[in-house]
Each structure stands twice: as structure tokens, then as C-alpha cells.
Amino acid sequence: MNHGIRRREFLREGALAAGAAACSVYLPHAAAGVASADSRIDILLDEPLGTISPNIYGHFTEHLGGVIYDGLWVGENSPVANLQGIRKRLVEEMHKIKAPVVRYPGGCFADSYNWRDGVGPADKRPRRTNFWNDAETKTAPENHKYEPNRFGTNEFIRFCRLIGAQPYLAANLRSLPAEEFYHWVEYCNSPAGSTSLAEMRAAAGSPEPFNVRFWGVGNESWGCGGNFTPQEYAVEFRRFTTWLPHYGPDLCLVASGPYSEELSWTRGFFEELLRKGADQLRSVYGLSLHHYAWNLSRGRTTDWDKGKGSALEFDPVDWYELLREGQRVEDIVEGHWRTMGEYDTEHHVKLIVDEWGPWYRPGSEATPGNLLEQIPTLRDAVFSALTLDVFNRHPEKVAMANCAQLINCLNSLYLAHEDKFCVTPVGHVFAMYAAHQGGQALRTVISAPAVRYDRDGKPASFWGLQGSASLDGKELRLTVVNPHVSEARECSVAVRGGRIVSGSATTLTSSDIHAHNTFAEPAALEPQTKKLDVNGAELAVALPAASVNKLALVLG
Ligand code: AHR
């Protein structure tokens, strides 16, 4: 890690350079005067891009470290407030963000998991070695290393129902036969009283089917999910999906897709799949895509361990490096989409970005011993906001996305341990952006001075502002990220073809780019909302340095 600019020095220099960031105010156009603006955003009401699938605001929970045990599940007899064993505070928070869908049980864990271990009487469920056992530390809790199966399909569906989200289950393709996949579908979806598995479900308290629509067919099948070539995986995919029982809802099957820019996986998968004819496409709802931002080495290495940076200790160049790694997702989405179009000209198959987020080296766990736990900062909020803006801008391509992961792992929205809980800056971004769900994405043209900085002796630049807009009836939402660590932007926002009658502005920022929430200081970083005094087609806003912003505008 480069400590070239120490945190204290950076703050002092940043404050001198920025000034405006600390006292940013939102000004109506008339008062501010567009002439003073250094940036401009035009929202084009008559250029809709498509409906933003609420599911791009999805989540991911894996039996990994403290995600399930301690994070989500505390148990019915816990002194921690719970709803049938599920952490009550988590349920309450997830209502605020309108959580649409949750992926489960993995991740890599999924391809070593037998769903039967997690159903039936809780005291009879077996204890198994968790997929992540080898990576766990000596001090990790036993139930992180040896899976007690106390939380399984029924408890997961209970969680989904409590938060009002759809379940998205990942089936085991590496180590179970296809038969177990359709039996899991049968357990979840066969009508009350129809099959033995429906009776087993009823015995656990759920006579009515779960109606699970979204099913992943393996996970990262190029790696932990079987180490397949794309051609081998396509053969397995065909076999696993040739027959599945359909009861009510159409099953949406997600094929295990590439990592980041790996176009050869996408090509190989489609080529082999379609060797059996074009109608094979009908069995695929989506192609999953994973992208983690982990390499902060500034081009020095591609080594998975050596390339990672620190979650909490970073300088401005590390900040830009992370955002740069995150921004790659836009080219990645476009690249795979183009490649998919070579085989699927009508774009029947959508992209499902079912794992995304920053991944740092160990050392910032809120609860020591929790594998892959890191404390998200303002940097991760900006990263998450710019990622969600990318998905908003490509509504015809991305049908679902799942932030990795929901709680106590990687880009967590929440951190929890025993009775302690906090919302991270990432959680606040999801709350701010929830308003985009189901809206009509609008083309938005943004111009702003680029960020320029010194990247180890070489000049580097990064875009100055990025964002997305959506319309729902008369309600227009614009979200914008200012990635500059020390310069605020004065921005003129114009709604082409409309008139704004009222609005509010919500901003998440801090004069310290490392700002984050902890159990001791859970409200250190929270968004602030102000009413806008505006009437007309244009307004001027100040977008603070290092900020995530949402304008909620009502049109006349
Ligand atoms: O999210 C952590 C892990 O990252 C998942 O289990 C796996 O799919 C990915 O490599």
C-alpha cells in the first residue's frame, strides 16, 4: 500500500484545495446563475432507454464467514431481536431499500452444498465441512468452518418473505447430479400435497409452494464450480436444464458466465450450446457475470493476493484506482452484450451481474475472525453508486445484479455482530438509489472537467461526473457521482422537454474520504437531504467533492 500521502496530510491539503466541498449548498438556478457552472447535465425526457429492472438492486448471501450465522441468522432463542430467528434490524433496514431479490446459498459454497442437508427437523440436520473451511482462521467461529445447516431453504424463504424479496437459488452443478436440481425445484415449487417433497415442505410449516423463479445453474463454473471449459459447461448446462418440473411460475435459468472481460467464456458457451440448434436459447434467461475490483497495484502485478489494497488505509491515487477498476464494468457489460448478440441476435438472453463489489486484503474486519469481511468507506459508496448508475444506463442489457455481499462480507450494506449493527455507506447508497427501481431510464448527457492526477509519476485522468436519470410518472430522479477527492463541481442541470416544480437533493459525502460507520459510531456517515427551491427547466447544484448525490424532482 502506498502511504505516500498520509491521511492527516491529505485531509489538510484537501481542505485547502477544495474549500467549497465543506460548505456546499444547493442553489436554485436563478440565484446561482448557470454562467458560474463548470459542469452540465442534460436529461432528455424524450429519449427513454428502457425500464430499469428493480432486480438490478439485488443482493447476495452466502454461507461464508459471518454472512449467515451472526449476520442474518441469530436463532429464535437469541437475546438479539429477531423474527423467527432472523435478525430483526436487518429486516427493517431491507424494507427501506426495497430489496427486490436475494441470491443464495453461494457463491462457491453452492457447488459443494446439498440442499437436503438444510431441510427437515433442525436438530436432525447434518454438520458438514464448509467450502470456505480452508480459508478460515483458527479463531473463526465453529459454525463458519463446519456448516451446521441450521439455516437452509425454509429459513431463506422466510427471510425473503419478511423483506418482500424474490429468492434466487444457485444449484450445485459440480458435485450433485441433475436429479438433485429438479428435486430442489420440486421441493420448492410443487403444489401443496402433490409430491412427497411438497409434504416434507408442509411438515416444515409451508404447505404452499415457495414459487421460486430464479435458479442459477452452478456458479463460476470456470473455477470453484467445476473447473470446466465453457464448452464442457455448456454440455452440463444442457443436461441440467433439459427437464425441470414446471408448476406455476416460469423458471428463469441463469447460466454460469464469465469473470470480468473473459469474452472467450461467453463465446465458448454460446457456440457449444447452439451446436444443438437455436432453440436452445429458450432455456437461458440470463448469463451471469462477476466483476470484483481488487487490483489496486497500479499495473504492477496481476497477483490475486499481492494486488489487493487496504479497505481503510488509502491515498487519493488508491481512491481513483478503485473507481477505475469499478468503472470497467461498463465496458465489460457492453463487450459481453455485443458478443452475446453474435449468437443471440434478438437478445433473448440478458446479463445477470450476480457478484460485484470491491475486494480488499484482510485486516479491516469489523468482527475479527470473519472471513472476507471489510469495512466499507465513502470510497465504496462512490464505487457502488457509479456501478448502479452503469446498470441504470443499460436497462435493456442488465436484468439483475447482486451486490457481493449483503452483510459482514466484502461490499456489505450492513455490519452486525451479536447485538451490534450498523448501516454502511454502501447501505445508504442503496437507500438513495431505490427510487430508480422500475423507472424509465432516460438518456442523460453529462459534461464536466476530467479529474487529473499523478499515477506514480505518470499523468492519469478519470471522468469528472457520471450518473443516471429515470422517470416514474411525474417523478424524475437523477443520481450523480463526483469522484474528485478535493474539488466540488458547480453543475447546471437541465430537463429537456419538462419543467421542474419542486424537488429535493440528497448527498452522501464527508471531508474525509475514509469516512465510514462502525458499531461504536454507526452514524458517522449518513446522507443529508435538503429541499430545493426551484421552478423551471433548469437548476444549478453544487456537487461536493467525493460525493454521491440524488436529485428527486417533481415535474409540472
Ligand atoms: O463472494 C465471494 C466469492 O467470490 C464467491 O463465493 C465466488 O463466487 C466468488 O469468487
User: Are 136 and 144 within 8 A, CB to CB?
Assistant: yes
Element spanning 421, H or E: strand 420-423
Tell me which residues of the chain have a pLDDT lower than 70.
1-35
> So what's the pLDDT on residue 509?
98
Q: At which residue does the C-alpha cell 454507526 appear?
A: 522
CA angle 106, 112, 117 (to 5 degrees): 90
Task: Report which protein residue has its CA nearest ligand 1's atom 2.
Answer: 107
Please give the Cα distance from 202 to 196 (Å, whole number): 10
Please tell me the distance between residue 109's alpha carbon and the centre of ligand 1 in angstroms: 8
Please give the Cα distance from 316 to 4 (Å, whole number): 10
- Per-residue pLDDT tens over the stretch 218-252: 999 999 999 999 999 999 999 999 999 999 789 99
Q: Which of 136, 220, 490, 538 is catalytic?
A: 220
Element spanning 270, H or E: helix 263-274
Helices (H) and strands (E) in the chain, counts: 12, 25
Please tell me the distance between residue 374's alpha carbon and the centre of ligand 1 in angstroms: 15
**220 is a catalytic site residue:** yes
Pocket of ligand 1 (CB under 6 A): 62, 106-108, 219-220, 355, 404-405, 410
Cell digits for 52? Answer: 430499469
Please tell me the distance between residue 107's alpha carbon and the centre of ligand 1 in angstroms: 5
Cell digits for 527? Answer: 446522507
> So what's the pLDDT on residue 36?
81
User: Are 474 and 554 within 8 A, CB to CB?
Assistant: yes
Please tell me the distance between residue 265's alpha carbon and the centre of ligand 1 in angstroms: 18
Per DSSP, the three-state class of 428 is helix
Q: At which residue does the C-alpha cell 441476435 appear?
A: 345
Q: Which amino acid is at 87?
A: R
**325 is a catalytic site residue:** no
State which of 102, 113, 290 you would mutate to test the pocket of ligand 1, scoring each by most atoms of that ligand within 8 A of its C-beta.
290
Q: Which amino acid is at 233?
A: Y
> So what's the pLDDT on residue 518?
98
- Give residues with Cβ within 8 angstroms of 89, minimum separation 6: 81, 416, 421
Cell digits for 430? Answer: 442503496
State which of 62, 289, 359, 402 you would mutate to test the pocket of ligand 1, scoring each by most atoms of that ligand within 8 A of its C-beta.
62
Cell digits for 97? Answer: 431499500
Q: Which of 93, 355, 487, 490 is catalytic?
A: 355
